[in-house]
Amino acid sequence: NCFCPTNYNPYNQGDIVPLGGCYRPVSIPAIEVLAAKNCRQHHNATLAKVEDRNKASFLSTLFPLKTKFWIGLRLVDGVYQWPDGTTLGGNGYQMWAPGYPKSGAGDCVYMYQYSGFRSGFFPHCFCATTWIIP
């Protein structure tokens, strides 16, 4: 396409122009801080922000089934925030995995698709856990 750099996937929400951003799945296992640093330093980007079920489904298609990958959501001073500073649920969308969020389970959030029919669940874990970089 003409809008996203090579090796990036456009999220265009049905539009011709990828107004939803360009995404590059990176299959390198990393802890959250290194995943975020990789995005910033090598791609001038951030970990993904998931505003709705459509984007969650799109991101899930970039990885094999049951792959766990970091998204940009983090617990900061008791509030879940995206890299741009907005808070989770500002638009009403939250897709916590069953039983989440739970106290003491860590501050960083990842996403996974555990079946072909259910995608985009958000569990959270300790930031030093190694997952794939989206």
Check residue 16 and give its pLDDT: 56
The answer to whether 51 touches 72, Cβ cutoff 8 Å, is no
Look up residue 115 and give its two tokens: 């079946």
Cis peptide before 98 (omega within 30 of 0): no
What does the mean pLDDT of the chain come to?
A: 82
Express as a percent the part of the chain with pLDDT over 90. 19
Mean pLDDT value of segment 21-40: 88
Range of 16-25, 101-110, 113-122 with top mean pLDDT: 101-110
| Cα–Cα dist 30/69, whole Å | 9
Domain residue ranges of the chain, discontinuous segments joined by +: 28-133
Does 54 have pLDDT greater than 90?
no
Tell me the pLDDT band of 1, cut-offs 50, 70 and 90.
very low
The yes or no reply on domain 28-133 and CATH 3.10.100.10 is yes
